[in-house]
């Protein structure tokens, strides 16, 4: 069966520090991978998606970047965090066409102080 | 442009009450898919239902039911005889056939008290 792992679960980082959040998927090949952010009291905003190794599309200009070094690994990074980067980050995967929904990881709650 | 609107920000009910969560969507595509997800306090998103644009048949799953009406671009979710465990944030989402990702509404926070 397919599983998605996301870590860490919580993170407190000072302003200006770097960030690296990792997401891995097991039990499937060539998944579409996504990073979403949920700010406090707001909906889910798509940040990045990837349809293959090294292929990254950005939906919104950010202080963040994403990379996909392996088929089932998706990394969200920042060189210098801002206070506004605080939020709940969710990784998700999907396969096939639009009919199939997404499976989400358990999320990382990031607080920038 | 695609958009999902969940006008109800917060709803509070007492156990055993029925509650309906509204969802209105916008898309120019003829083929699209609608979803509902539940986000309990733990934060993880739990898939509830998927419906395609060609299937307007309503669906019932236990205490949950969904009413899809293309004429009004709505996909409403009803919980019958609500329970405290239903307390969560509920998201409605849309994905078109040609779209790249799920578009979410801002969510409705449901609080069920005993």
Residue B9 in contact with residue B109, Cβ under 8 Å?
A: yes
**Across B24-33, average pLDDT:** 93
- In this predicted structure, what is the pLDDT of residue A99? 65
pLDDT tens digits, residue range A10-35? 999 999 999 999 999 998 888 999 99
Q: Give which of B5, B2, B10, B1 is closest to B75, Cα–Cα.
A: B5
Chain B CB contacts of A107 below 8 Å: 43-44
- In this predicted structure, what is the pLDDT of residue A98? 56
Q: Per-residue confidence at B97, pLDDT binned at 50, 70, 90?
A: confident
Largest CA distance in chain B: 44
User: Encoding tokens for residue B29?
Assistant: 């595509």
pLDDT tens digits, residue range A44-86? 999 999 999 999 998 886 789 999 999 999 999 999 999 999 9
Which residue in chain B is spatially nearest to A41 when comparing CA positions? Answer: B106
More confident residue, A101 or B52: B52
Which residues lie below 8 Å from residue A65, measured CB to CB, with a gap of 6+? A56, A76, A77, A78
B33 and A99 within 8 Å at the Cβ level: the answer is: yes
Summary mean pLDDT of chain B: 93
Could you say which of A43, A49, A100 has the minimum Cβ distance to residue B106?
A: A43
Residue B112 has pLDDT above 70, yes or no: yes
Could you say which of A34, A97, A109 has the minimum Cβ distance to residue B101?
A: A34
Residue B48 has pLDDT above 80, yes or no: yes
Q: Which residues pair with A46 in a beta bridge?
A: A36
**Across B76-97, average pLDDT:** 95
User: Encoding tokens for residue B30?
Assistant: 């003829």
Residue A100 has pLDDT above 90, yes or no: no
Residue B113 phi, psi (nearest 5): -105, 155
Long-range Cβ pairs for the range B82-87 (8 Å, 24+): B82/B13, B82/B15, B82/B16, B82/B17, B82/B18, B82/B19, B82/B110, B82/B112, B83/B15, B83/B112, B84/B15, B84/B112, B84/B113, B84/B114, B85/B112, B86/B110, B86/B112, B87/B40, B87/B41, B87/B111, B87/B112
Residue A89 in contact with residue A36, Cβ under 8 Å?
A: yes
Residue B106 has pLDDT above 60, yes or no: yes
Largest CA distance in chain A: 41
């Amino acid at each position: 069966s397919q599983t998605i792992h996301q870590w860490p679960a919580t993170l407190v980082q000072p302003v200006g520090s770097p960030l690296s959040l990792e997401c891995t998927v097991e039990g499937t090949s060539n998944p579409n991978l996504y990073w979403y952010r949920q700010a406090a009291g707001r909906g889910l905003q798509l940040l990045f998606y990837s349809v293959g190794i090294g292929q990254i599309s950005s939906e919104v200009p950010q202080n963040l970047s994403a990379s996909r070094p392996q088929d089932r690994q998706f990394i969200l990074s920042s060189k210098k965090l801002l206070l506004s980067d605080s939020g709940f980050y969710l990784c998700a995967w999907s396969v096939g066409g639009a009919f199939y929904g997404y499976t989400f990881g358990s999320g990382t709650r990031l607080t920038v102080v | 442009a695609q958009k999902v609107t969940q006008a109800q920000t917060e709803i509070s009910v007492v156990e055993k009450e029925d509650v309906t969560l509204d969802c209105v969507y916008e898309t120019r595509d003829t083929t699209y898919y609608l979803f509902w997800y539940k986000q309990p306090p733990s934060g993880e998103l739990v898939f509830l239902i998927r419906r395609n644009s060609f299937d307007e048949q309503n669906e019932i799953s236990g205490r949950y039911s969904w009413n899809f009406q293309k004429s009004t671009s709505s996909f409403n979710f009803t919980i019958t005889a609500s329970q405290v465990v239903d307390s969560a944030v509920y998201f409605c989402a849309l994905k078109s056939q040609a779209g790249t990702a799920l578009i979410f509404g801002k969510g409705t926070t449901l609080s069920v008290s005993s």
